[in-house]
């Protein structure tokens, strides 16, 4: 077997978080003030500094032609890893060995200058991404065609629509010809049709041209269609690594109790029946998301300290906070009486909800609605992944959050 | 087969903490294209959306020269009667000084102005302040053309040493580079720098013989004073400019003092820049 093109060994990156202020940069004044403070105070009460490992002892290997996805929640260390691999920052410890020319695309349109024309920006951006003038000239027509901006080539890009801007930026990057391509969440921009075009281009680069691709995304469908292997980062370490489908499943099923509804802020009410637990259940497991069409249950835990009568209702909402549907306890069994902690299970056995991230609003209240115990607004509920073959619900980018079989027939 | 050959022929790149890149300078050479294009961008964008465009490059030094000639020549009575035209004396000093001070200001803000580049892609960071400094060279040459116009105006013929002027221009470049790199790196961490520099420049114009000749120092104080005065690296450069353009006698010990300081600044600047370069993306 050939040597790996990327080899990462015990890689760590540490950041020092200073608790003295939110400022990102230091001013001389602060340094002087701190020194003075230290002289006055005993050395024991040094300023509160906390070490934080964005990555800790990460190791993996990537071989020629691999298409690897990097997944994980926000703050898991994905971007830090990409920055280390593309030499933007230096690791605190560990070692990376890279064989081959790397191009990293952490943001589309890096270095675009608003005052320069489209044509000039192609050359500028190309050079920034490591292309020579000769290479850019060779690819120029292809780039322009891909971006669909022929007419506006000599207009300053500050006059471009945001769509045109992004298209041009991606087109330059897509025509890079590196041996290893590192791509951060850049496909989250542009309209659906262009996203598709970008994905197609990336697929072409990786599958047909045999290049090594490292791809970070929160869109599991993009990860599934582009990569064959995944590295799942959690809290700065490699939590799991393996075949994409399995790793993505693991990621979706991995429950993380950090985002607790008990401490969620956007709520009101007198607190007599407080919602303290929310879990999504898939069969017996607690999960973060499900695939389209899969059944799930919502488990709610409610804290009650004195005997009360209560009713409750939930609304499942899309990202724009528009409710998809509402359901309430009294629909089935009328109000209930409680005096201590209890749980309810809401069984959504046949959801016709399309892919996307969904939220929930929950309310507990006195049955006559004269008193609200606890009303939680727009808490993240689950993400539904659009993966084909799991149901008859289409995975394309059509409008609408719901789907149910509808018959079309031609008349006359 | 060819694929594997191609791979094995590519050099291995190892990323480790504190590993000073063995091929640092080679890397800079490889990224020269980026250097050209960034300089070209800065020049191109410089006078965009101004009504009179590049004319600013002429007006700025011209106005400064006129003001200086007036303030120092007429009001402060610093001009010498039977010497060369005072306007040319001032201009010869102003030329390197303006270059140095503009380069310093441009360089110190260059990294911060390109935050998105620094935090999103890899390239030798040295390129950014270097291209900012090179860009100011354009203004320098415009001013230089102006100087030639002033020659014609006064029907002044420069001495033969003027052929050595490029050497002193190179020294100015080196000085700007050394101090510029240091200040740029410092500015990433301590934003105070960008407030200090304008003061330094304003103050510096009086501590440097721009409006007067450095001979004044030895006449008023002593030769030793002039030597110490030449520890200001700009002094040696301006003396050199005046020697080339006006044929004023050169004070060589002072020049070598300046030269030593320039080289020292260069070493310190590059060292400090390289030391802090790796943390730019974290600190910016």
pLDDT digits (tens, 9 = 90+) for A50-68: 778 889 999 999 988 888 9
Task: Count, in order, helices (H) and strands (E) of chain B.
Answer: 14, 1
Q: Which chain B residues contact residue A122 at CB under 8 A?
A: none
Residue with token string 């291995």 = B12
Residue A21 backbone dihedrals phi, psi, to 5 degrees = -175, 165
The pLDDT-based confidence of A102 (bands split at 50, 70, 90) is confident
With an 8 Å Cβ cutoff, are A92 and B17 in contact? yes
Q: Which of B284, B93, B65, B270 has the alpha carbon at shortest distance from B176? A: B270
With an 8 Å Cβ cutoff, are B48 and A88 in contact? no
Nearest-CA distance from A90 to chain B in Å? 6
Q: Which chain B residues contact residue A130 at CB under 8 A?
A: 34
Residues 6+ apart with CB under 8 A from A383: A252, A288, A289, A356, A357, A358
Q: Which chain A residues contact residue B128 at CB under 8 A?
A: none
- Burial grade of B196 (CB within 10 A; 0-12, 13-18, 19 or more): middle
% of chain B exceeding 90 in pLDDT: 26
In the predicted structure, residue A45 carries a pLDDT above the cut 50:
no
Confirm if B84 and B243 have CB atoms less than 8 A apart.
Answer: no
In the predicted structure, residue A286 carries a pLDDT above the cut 80:
yes
CA distance B252 to B164: 15
For domain A6-14+53-253, which CATH number applies: 2.60.120.200, 3.40.50.300, 3.40.190.10, 3.30.460.10? 3.40.50.300
With an 8 Å Cβ cutoff, are A115 and B121 in contact? no
Q: Give B111 or A20, the one with higher predicted confidence.
A: B111
Token pair in block for residue B238: 């301006």
CA distance A73 to A174: 26
With an 8 Å Cβ cutoff, are B17 and A100 in contact? no
CA distance A387 to A42: 60
Specify the pLDDT at position B248: 85
User: Per residue in A308-353, pLDDT tens?
Assistant: 999 999 999 887 778 899 999 888 777 888 899 999 999 998 888 9
Specify the pLDDT at position A49: 66
Mean pLDDT rounded to a whole number for chain A: 82
With an 8 Å Cβ cutoff, are B44 and A116 in contact? yes
- Total count of residues recorded for chain A: 412
With an 8 Å Cβ cutoff, are A89 and B191 in contact? no
The pLDDT-based confidence of B4 (bands split at 50, 70, 90) is very low
Interface test with A, best of B11, B16, B31 (most A CBs within 10 A): B16
- Total count of residues recorded for chain B: 284
With an 8 Å Cβ cutoff, are A96 and B14 in contact? yes
State which residue of chain A sits closest to B19, comparing Cα positions. A90
Q: Which residues pair with A8 in a beta bridge?
A: A60, A96
The pLDDT-based confidence of B10 (bands split at 50, 70, 90) is low
Question: Domain residue spans in chain A?
Answer: 6-14+53-253, 267-387
Nearest-CA distance from A154 to chain B in Å? 14
Residues 6+ apart with CB under 8 A from B194: B108, B109, B112, B187
From first CA to last CA, the distance across chain B in angstroms is 44
Nearest-CA distance from A117 to chain B in Å? 11
Count of CA atoms in the C-beta half-sphere (13 A) of A176: 29
What crossing angle do the helices spanning B233-246 and B86-113 adopt, rounded to 10°?
140
Nearest-CA distance from A84 to chain B in Å? 8
Interface test with B, best of A13, A94, A130 (most B CBs within 10 A): A130
User: Per residue in A1-39, pLDDT tens?
Assistant: 578 889 999 999 988 776 554 444 566 667 777 666 666
Nearest to A111 among B4, B116, B279 (CB): B116
Return the number of CB contacts < 8 Å for A and B: 122
Specify the pLDDT at position B280: 85
Q: Which chain A residues contact residue B190 at CB under 8 A?
A: 25-28, 31
Q: Which residues pair with A337 in a beta bridge?
A: A309
- Burial grade of B167 (CB within 10 A; 0-12, 13-18, 19 or more): exposed
With an 8 Å Cβ cutoff, are A129 and B121 in contact? yes
CA distance B68 to B97: 13
Least confident of A44-58, A382-396, B174-188: A44-58
Confirm if B92 and B165 have CB atoms less than 8 A apart.
Answer: no
CA angle B137, B141, B144 (to 5 degrees): 135
Beta-strand ranges (E) seen in A220-371 are: 229-234, 237-243, 267-268, 273-282, 285-287, 289-291, 296-304, 308-317, 323-328, 336-338, 342-348, 356-365
Nearest-CA distance from B106 to chain A in Å? 17
Q: Give B278 or B110, the one with higher predicted confidence.
A: B110
% of chain B exceeding 70 in pLDDT: 90
Q: Are strands B12-15 and A289-291 parallel, antiparallel or unpaired?
A: unpaired
The pLDDT-based confidence of A297 (bands split at 50, 70, 90) is very high
Q: Which chain B residues contact residue A84 at CB under 8 A?
A: 15
Nearest to A110 among B49, B117, B282 (CB): B117
Q: Which of A125, A122, A117 has the alpha carbon at shortest distance from A154? A: A117
With an 8 Å Cβ cutoff, are B7 and A124 in contact? no
Least confident of A175-184, A190-199, B113-122, B149-158: A190-199
Q: Which residues of B touch A (CB under 8 A)?
A: 3-4, 7-8, 10, 12-18, 33-34, 36-38, 41, 44-45, 48-49, 114, 116-123, 188-192, 278-279, 281-284
State which residue of chain B sits closest to A12, comparing Cα positions. B17
Confirm if A317 and A378 have CB atoms less than 8 A apart.
Answer: yes
Give the CA-trace dihedral at A152, A158, A160, A161, to 10 degrees. Answer: 180
Q: Which chain B residues contact residue A96 at CB under 8 A?
A: 14-16
CA distance B61 to B145: 11
Nearest-CA distance from A96 to chain B in Å? 5
Count of CA atoms in the C-beta half-sphere (13 A) of A300: 24
A267-387 CATH = 2.70.50.60
pTM of the model: 0.71
Q: Which of B52, B62, B100 has the alpha carbon at shortest distance from B241? A: B100
Mind spelling out the 3-state secondary structure of A125-143? HHHHCCCCHHHHHHHHHHH
Within this chain, domains A6-14+53-253 and A267-387 share the same CATH topology? no
Q: Are strands A372-385 and A356-365 parallel, antiparallel or unpaired?
A: antiparallel
CA B156, chain centre distance (Å): 27
Q: Which chain B residues contact residue A165 at CB under 8 A?
A: none
With an 8 Å Cβ cutoff, are B120 and A106 in contact? yes
The pLDDT-based confidence of A162 (bands split at 50, 70, 90) is confident
Residue A71: helix, strand or coil by DSSP? strand
Nearest to B189 among A25, A29, A128 (CB): A25
Confirm if A380 and A283 have CB atoms less than 8 A apart.
Answer: no
Token pair in block for residue A123: 């050359």
Interface test with A, best of B9, B12, B41 (most A CBs within 10 A): B41
Q: Which chain A residues contact residue B36 at CB under 8 A?
A: 127
């Amino acid at each position: 077997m050939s040597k790996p093109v990327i080899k990462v060994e015990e890689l760590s990156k540490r950041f020092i978080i200073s608790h003295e202020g939110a400022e990102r940069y230091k001013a001389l004044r602060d340094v002087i003030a701190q020194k003075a403070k230290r002289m006055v105070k005993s050395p024991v009460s040094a300023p509160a500094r906390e070490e934080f490992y964005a990555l800790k002892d990460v190791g993996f290997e990537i071989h020629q032609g691999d298409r690897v996805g990097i997944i994980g929640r926000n703050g898991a260390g994905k971007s830090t890893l990409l920055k280390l691999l593309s030499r933007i920052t230096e690791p605190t410890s560990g070692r990376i060995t890279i064989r081959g020319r790397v191009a990293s695309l952490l943001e589309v349109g890096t270095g675009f200058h608003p005052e320069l024309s489209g044509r000039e920006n192609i050359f500028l951006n190309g050079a920034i991404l490591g292309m020579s003038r000769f290479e850019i000239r060779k690819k120029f027509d292809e780039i322009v065609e891909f971006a669909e901006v022929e007419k506006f080539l000599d207009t300053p890009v500050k006059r471009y629509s945001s769509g045109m801007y992004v298209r041009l930026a991606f087109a330059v990057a897509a025509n890079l010809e590196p041996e290893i391509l590192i791509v951060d969440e850049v496909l989250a921009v542009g309209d659906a049709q262009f996203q598709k075009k970008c994905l197609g281009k990336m697929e072409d680069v990786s599958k047909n041209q045999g290049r090594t691709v490292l791809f970070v995304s929160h869109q599991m469908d993009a990860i599934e269609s582009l990569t064959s292997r995944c590295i799942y980062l959690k809290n700065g370490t490699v939590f799991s690594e393996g075949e994409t489908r399995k790793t993505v499943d693991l990621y979706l099923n991995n429950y993380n109790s950090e985002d607790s509804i008990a401490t969620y802020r956007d709520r009101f009410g007198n607190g007599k029946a407080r919602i303290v637990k929310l879990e999504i259940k898939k069969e017996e497991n607690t999960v973060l998301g499900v695939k389209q069409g899969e059944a799930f249950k919502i488990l709610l835990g409610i804290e009650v300290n004195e005997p009360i009568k209560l009713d409750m209702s939930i609304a499942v909402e899309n990202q724009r906070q528009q409710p998809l549907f509402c359901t309430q306890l009294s629909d089935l069994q009328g109000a209930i009486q409680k005096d201590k902690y209890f749980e309810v299970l809401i069984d959504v056995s046949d959801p016709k909800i399309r892919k996307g991230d969904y939220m929930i609003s929950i309310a507990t209240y006195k049955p006559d609605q004269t008193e609200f115990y606890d009303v939680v607004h727009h808490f993240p509920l689950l993400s539904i992944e659009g993966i084909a073959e799991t149901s008859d619900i289409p995975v394309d980018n059509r409008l609408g959050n719901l789907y149910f079989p509808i018959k079309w027939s031609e008349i006359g | 087969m060819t694929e594997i050959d191609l791979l094995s022929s590519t050099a291995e790149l190892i990323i480790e903490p504190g590993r000073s890149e063995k091929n640092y300078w080679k890397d800079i050479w490889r990224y020269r294209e980026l250097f050209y294009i960034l300089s070209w961008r800065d020049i191109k964008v410089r006078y965009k959306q101004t009504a009179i465009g590049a004319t600013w490059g002429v007006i700025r030094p011209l106005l400064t020269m006129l003001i200086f000639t007036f303030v120092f020549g007429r009001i402060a009575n610093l001009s010498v009667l039977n010497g060369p035209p005072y306007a040319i004396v001032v201009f010869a000093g102003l030329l390197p000084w303006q270059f140095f001070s503009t380069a310093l200001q441009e360089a110190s803000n260059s990294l911060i102005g390109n935050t998105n580049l620094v935090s999103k892609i890899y390239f030798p960071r040295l390129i950014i302040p270097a291209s900012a400094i090179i860009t100011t060279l354009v203004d320098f040459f415009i001013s230089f053309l102006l100087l030639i116009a002033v020659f014609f105006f006064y029907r002044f013929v420069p001495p033969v040493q003027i052929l050595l002027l490029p050497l002193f221009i190179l020294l100015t470049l080196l000085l700007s580079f050394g101090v510029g790199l240091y200040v740029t790196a410092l500015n990433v961490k301590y934003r105070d720098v960008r407030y200090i520099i304008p003061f330094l420049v304003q103050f510096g114009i009086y501590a440097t013989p721009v409006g007067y000749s450095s001979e004044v120092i030895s006449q008023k104080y002593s030769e030793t004073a002039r030597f110490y005065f030449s520890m200001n690296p700009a002094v040696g450069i301006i003396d050199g400019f005046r020697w080339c353009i006006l044929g004023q006698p050169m004070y060589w010990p002072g020049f070598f003092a300046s030269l030593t300081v320039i080289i020292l600044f260069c070493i310190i600047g590059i060292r400090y820049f390289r030391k802090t370069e790796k943390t730019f993306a974290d600190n910016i």
